[in-house]
């Protein structure tokens, strides 16, 4: 059993959980994820590890309430436990001194991009964080990101706060305006990561995305997480989840993510 | 001199659930012998002076001896003899490919009536489960050695190695990636061939000996093998199996509802997707299911699909019935249940609908050419024979290769060309100091009994190593 040390609501439908998992806290690196299960009948779902504290022996995840399991998670309180917590899984993101980098986050990615932001900054990069949300009420962690980056640009789809528009629009504007970017990182929904990759492609700026296909074991045993990268099949849980966004077959990823749409509706 | 006993060539059949009934449930297909049946079969054994059967068993079970005990109706003795060599008889009796091992070598095999060694083994093991109390505890308390061994993986290789080592006084911890112990016995082989309760009993037994099992531990991630050796353990036994599924690498293979057999079986066996929505993990079944491959894994996947309500289930195999690697018994069971076998057929591509779900499979006819390295005749395509089958679900069951997580995260571990860990067959030693390996990770996908044998040999060698 893995105890929840803290649980908080960040924004409507977004929660943050701090979980006791000292061994994982000691090993995790930016870009890695965990697989959790709430109870004996529960599904195994992957969540990015957004923060950790070796001294406290805790790790943090942020999630959006989208379906059965995330709904169960939303109901939990500090003091409750998860039946399973496996991590750290996947390959860490490559962190180097690239120069000037953009870290774009939308949805749960506003939180899950934090480890990259922090590590890239520590490596001496100029780090620009760009976060997006439909409405200002769905934003969170602007302050935290400001703490670890050179600049945070906020965008909202409806213009209720910051720039009107989305993170990919900002990236595009920067590149078209002649700002030189050495690398872009994107976390969030599949559509947003795809648009970020499309924005950078004409400028040849390498863009690393954190893919989120359906997973079961997370150890390379089942192949549920197959993605197509540059025409080659990869397992996102062991070869990824970070890939070059210019090489991802996005249509395939989106189709596979919706494999169980009918069943999921039935279960709710 | 006593009159020579007449040889009885009628093998006692084992009762099975009727095909029409069993294809609608997950209960065991083969129901096991009754006491009378077991006795009758045991009495057929000739008690050969030079028992050939024994040489056919990878762990050298004392076959005539345990059958003798059965003949004498001394059940505790039969259990004891069996467990001397085989710590998981209830599992092996059910899933060993006896027809190519012990039973193949039995003298009566020439007359096509080998002793049903597997069924007798199962009978004895099942008897033990219901009479645990009447057996004196075999495990004497041994002096603690003060040595700690980490075992990576809780399949048959890991469980066996753990059981031997703890009884020799080692401190043993099993580290398992999944949330349930048992390896393929739990997530792969379905309930109707191997009830999970039997596997769970064996795991509980290993735990009762004092072995600690830490679930949710992916070695290579939460700790590397080197870290295990540096921080906590004197030796490591690697038994992570060969769990990475192979695919065909043909167009359309990543469409939705194209599964690996591992995923399909894991969703069913481990995640209980057949109880969705009571359990949270979904699975797609559809009306028409095609399973690609001809091994035990393909049989299991096809029969699970049938039990989950598929109307038509095909097995698509590129060679002929003769080359099929699945156990004959399982193939026959599948045939009886109504699985449709398409031999000498190979898929060439898959097509899907606008939602990316598979709808059609294009296949081509094959013929057999000259024998290849494996000694089986090589399948070659017959150009111009392409045809299509409508499908809702496709399950790729081509077998598994070694998972790269441990090999790629461990320093100084020599690998073979096939990606398995280079291992001395007799001792289980690898190229790395204080690291042993066994089971599918050392041999490539093999059998439960060979994995167990490897676990035992490694345990013996670890014991010897620390006596120095
Ligand atoms: C490596 C990785 C990291 C992720 N990190 C985060 C994170 O930090 N925060 C977060 O909120 N979400 C994250 N996700 C997505 C998250 O796993 C899914 O939202 C979650 O599994 C949905 O489960 P559910 O039972 O609540 O919803 P369901 O009812 O099962 O599904 C709702 C929708 O979520 C998608 N989905 C279903 N199962 C999965 C699955 N196993 N993996 C991915 N998508 C799925 C489907 O498209 C479905 O339409 C990550 C996914 C991956 C692969
Ligand atoms: C569907 C199916 C049907 C089969 N039917 C038969 C049959 O009828 N008869 C027969 O004899 N054989 C059969 N086999 C083969 C047999 O199951 C295997 O040969 C045997 O289980 C191998 O045992 P093992 O201990 O080496 O590994 P496994 O049983 O594969 O167990 C390995 C364990 O290690 C864990 N693991 C992997 N990597 C790590 C890691 N990095 N850290 C921690 N843990 C890890 C895995 O999660 C798993 O639990 C079948 C196999 C399958 C898939
Ligand atoms: S362990 Fe398997 S091969 Fe050996 S005697 Fe038993 S059934 Fe036969
Ligand atoms: S070879 Fe056959 S008949 Fe002879 S001892 Fe073995 S099982 Fe009995
Ligand atoms: S989740 Fe099973 S192989 Fe990636």
Interface contact flag, B266 A228, Cβ < 8 Å: no
Residue A254: its pLDDT value, please?
Answer: 94
Q: How many H helices and E strands in chain A?
A: 10, 16
Distance between terminal CA atoms of chain A?
26
Lowest-pLDDT range of B138-142, B170-174, B303-307, B380-384: B138-142
In a domain, A265, yes or no: no
Confidence category of residue B5, pLDDT binned at 50, 70, 90:
low
Whether A152 and A57 share a structural domain: no
pLDDT at B76 over 90: yes
Q: Which CATH number is associated with domain B148-243+401-465?
A: 3.50.50.60
In a domain, A221, yes or no: yes
In a domain, A95, yes or no: no
**For range B216-233, the mean pLDDT:** 96
Chain B residues within 8 angstroms (CB to CB) of chain A: 177-179, 215-218, 221-223, 243-245, 247, 249, 253-257, 259-260, 262-263, 266-267, 271-272, 276-284, 352, 355-357, 403-405
Domain boundary among A89, A117, A142: A89
Q: How far, in whole angstroms, is CA B95 from its chain's centroid?
A: 6
Average model confidence (pLDDT) across chain B: 92
**For range B8-20, the mean pLDDT:** 90
Preceding omega of A161 cis (within 30 degrees of 0) = no
Whether A134 and A61 share a structural domain: no
Whether A74 and A117 share a structural domain: no
Give the mean pLDDT per block of 10 residues along chain A (268 residues). 94 95 97 96 96 96 94 94 96 97 96 97 97 95 95 96 95 95 97 96 97 96 96 96 97 91 72
Ligand nearest to the CA of B85: 3
The yes-or-no answer to whether B28-134 and B148-243+401-465 have a common fold is: no
Domain boundary among A89, A119, A145: A89
Share of chain B above pLDDT 70, in %: 97
User: Which residue among B222, B249, B356 sits closest to A255, beta carbon to beta carbon?
Assistant: B356
Domain of A187, CATH number, reads 3.40.50.80
In a domain, A202, yes or no: yes
User: Which residue among B222, B267, B355 sits closest to A24, beta carbon to beta carbon?
Assistant: B222
Ligand 3 atom 4: the closest Cα is on which residue? B57
- Is A97 exposed, middle or buried (CB count within 10 Å of its CB: 0-12, 13-18, 19+)? exposed
For chain B, the structural domain boundaries read 28-134, 148-243+401-465, 247-398
**For range B95-120, the mean pLDDT:** 94
Lowest-pLDDT range of B150-164, B369-383, B447-461: B369-383
pTM for the predicted model, two decimal places: 0.94
Ligand 1 atom 31: the closest Cα is on which residue? A67
Q: For residue B296, what are its two tokens?
A: 């035990």
Interface contact flag, B245 A255, Cβ < 8 Å: no
Ligand 1 atom 53: the closest Cα is on which residue? A212
Query: How many other C-beta atoms can be found within 10 angstroms of the C-beta atom of residue B2?
Result: 4
Whether A210 and A104 share a structural domain: yes
Share of chain B above pLDDT 90, in %: 83
Whether A132 and A180 share a structural domain: yes
In a domain, A263, yes or no: no
Torsion of CA A110, A115, A120, A126, to 10 degrees: 30
Whether A52 and A146 share a structural domain: no
| Complex-level ipTM | 0.94
**pLDDT tens-digit profile of B265-286?**
999 999 998 888 899 998 988 8
Residue B387: its pLDDT value, please?
Answer: 96
Whether A38 and A151 share a structural domain: no
Total domains in the fold of chain A = 2
SS3 B40: helix
Domain housing A8: 2-89
Domain boundary among A64, A89, A114: A89
Whether A128 and A218 share a structural domain: yes
- Residues with C-beta less than 6 Å from any ligand 2 atom: B 95-97, 152-158, 175-178, 183-184, 188-189, 217-220, 239-241, 243, 265, 296-297, 300, 403, 405-406, 439-441, 445-449, 451
Whether A105 and A10 share a structural domain: no
Ligand 1 centroid distance, CA of A189 (Å): 10
**pLDDT tens-digit profile of B288-335?**
999 999 999 999 999 999 999 999 999 999 999 988 999 888 999 999
Q: What is the second-level CATH architecture of the domain B247-398?
A: 3-Layer(bba) Sandwich (3.50)
Q: For residue A242, what are its two tokens?
A: 């970070």
Whether A214 and A118 share a structural domain: yes
Q: How far apart are CA B277 and CA B341, in angstroms?
A: 32
Query: How many other C-beta atoms can be found within 10 angstroms of the C-beta atom of residue A148?
Result: 19
User: Which residue among A37, A221, A259 sits closest to B262, beta carbon to beta carbon?
Assistant: A221
CATH entry 1.10.1060.10 includes domain B28-134:
yes
Whether A72 and A156 share a structural domain: no
Q: How far apart are CA B454 and CA B420, in angstroms?
A: 14
**For range B246-260, the mean pLDDT:** 95
Ligand 2 centroid distance, CA of B112 (Å): 31
Interface contact flag, B245 A223, Cβ < 8 Å: yes
pLDDT at B2 over 50: no
Whether A122 and A210 share a structural domain: yes
Domain of A38, CATH number, reads 2.40.30.10
**pLDDT tens-digit profile of B37-70?**
999 999 999 999 999 999 999 999 999 999 999 9
**pLDDT tens-digit profile of B111-151?**
889 999 999 999 999 999 888 764 545 555 677 888 999 99
Residue B1: its pLDDT value, please?
Answer: 42
The alpha-helical segments, DSSP class H, found in B100-234 are 102-105, 117-130, 156-167, 184-187, 196-208, 225-231
Q: How many H helices and E strands in chain B?
A: 18, 16
**pLDDT tens-digit profile of A53-102?**
999 999 999 999 999 999 999 999 999 999 999 999 999 999 999 999 99
């Amino acid at each position: 059993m893995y105890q929840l040390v803290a649980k908080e609501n960040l924004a409507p439908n977004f929660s943050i959980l701090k979980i006791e998992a000292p061994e994982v806290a000691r090993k995790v690196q930016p870009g890695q994820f965990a697989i959790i299960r709430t109870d004996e009948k529960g599904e195994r779902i992957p969540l990015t590890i957004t923060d950790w504290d070796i001294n406290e022996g805790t790790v943090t995840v942020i999630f959006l309430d989208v379906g059965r399991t995330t709904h169960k998670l939303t109901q939990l309180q500090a003091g409750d436990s998860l039946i399973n917590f496996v991590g750290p899984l996947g390959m860490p993101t490559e962190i180097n001194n690239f120069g000037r980098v953009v870290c774009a986050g939308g949805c749960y990615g506003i939180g899950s991009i934090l480890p990259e932001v922090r590590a890239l900054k520590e490596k001496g990069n100029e780090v620009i964080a760009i976060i997006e949300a439909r409405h200002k009420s769905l934003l969170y962690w602007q302050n935290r990101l400001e703490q670890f980056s050179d600049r945070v640009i906020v965008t909202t789809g409806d213009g209720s706060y910051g720039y009107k528009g989305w993170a990919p629009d900002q990236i595009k504007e920067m590149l078209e305006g002649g700002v030189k970017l050495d690398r872009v990182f994107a976390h969030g929904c599949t559509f947003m990561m795809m648009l970020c990759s499309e924005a950078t492609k004409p400028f040849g700026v390498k863009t690393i995305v954190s893919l989120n296909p359906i997973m079961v074991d997370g150890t390379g045993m089942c192949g549920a997480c197959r993605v197509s990268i540059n025409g080659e099949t990869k397992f996102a849980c062991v070869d990824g989840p970070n890939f070059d966004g210019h090489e991802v077959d996005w249509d395939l990823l989106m189709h596979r993510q919706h494999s169980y749409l009918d069943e999921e509706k039935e279960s709710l | 001199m006593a009159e020579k006993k007449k040889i009885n060539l009628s093998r006692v059949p084992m009762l099975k659930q009727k095909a029409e009934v069993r294809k609608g449930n997950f209960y065991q297909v083969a129901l096991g012998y009754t006491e009378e049946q077991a006795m009758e079969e045991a009495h057929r054994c000739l008690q050969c002076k030079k028992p050939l059967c024994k040489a056919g068993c990878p762990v050298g079970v004392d076959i005539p001896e345990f059958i003798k005990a059965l003949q004498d109706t001394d059940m505790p003795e039969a259990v004891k003899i069996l467990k001397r060599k085989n710590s998981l008889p209830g599992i092996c009796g059910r899933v060993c490919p006896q027809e190519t091992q012990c039973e193949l070598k039995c003298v009566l095999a020439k007359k096509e009536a080998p002793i049903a060694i597997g069924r007798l083994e199962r009978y004895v093991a099942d008897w033990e489960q219901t009479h645990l109390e009447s057996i004196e505890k075999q495990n004497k308390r041994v002096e603690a050695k003060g040595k700690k061994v980490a075992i990576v993986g809780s399949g048959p290789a890991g469980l066996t190695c753990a059981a031997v080592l703890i009884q020799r006084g080692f401190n043993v911890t099993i580290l398992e990636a999944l949330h349930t112990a048992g390896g393929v016995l739990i997530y792969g082989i379905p309930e109707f061939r191997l009830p999970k309760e039997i596997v769970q009993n064996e795991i509980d037994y290993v735990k009762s000996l004092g072995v600690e099992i830490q679930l949710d531990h992916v070695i290579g991630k939460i700790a590397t093998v080197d870290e295990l050796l540096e921080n906590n353990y004197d030796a490591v036994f690697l038994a992570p199996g060969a769990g990475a599924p192979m695919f065909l690498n043909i167009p359309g293979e990543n469409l939705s509802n194209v599964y690996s057999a591992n995923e399909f079986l894991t969703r069913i066996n481990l995640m209980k997707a057949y109880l969705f929505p009571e359990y949270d993990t979904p699975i797609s079944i559809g009306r028409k299911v095609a399973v690609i491959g001809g091994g035990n894994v393909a049989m299991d996947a096809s029969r699970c699909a049938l039990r989950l309500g598929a109307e038509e289930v095909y097995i698509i195999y590129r060679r002929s019935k003769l080359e099929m690697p699945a156990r004959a018994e399982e193939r026959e069971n599948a045939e009886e249940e109504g699985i449709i076998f398409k031999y000498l057929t190979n898929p060439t591509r898959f097509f899907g609908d606008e939602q990316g779900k598979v709808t059609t499979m294009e296949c081509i006819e094959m013929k057999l050419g000259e024998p290849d390295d494996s000694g089986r005749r090589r399948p070659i395509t017959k150009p111009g024979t392409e045809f299509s089958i409508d499908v809702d679900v496709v399950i790729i069951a081509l077998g598994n290769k070694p998972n790269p997580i441990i090999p790629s995260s461990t320093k100084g571990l020599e690998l073979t060309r096939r990606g398995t860990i280079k291992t001395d067959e007799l001792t289980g030693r690898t190229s790395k100091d204080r690291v042993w390996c066994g089971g599918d990770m050392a041999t490539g996908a093999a059998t439960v009994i060979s994995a167990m044998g490897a676990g035992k040999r490694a345990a013996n060698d670890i014991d010897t190593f620390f006596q120095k």
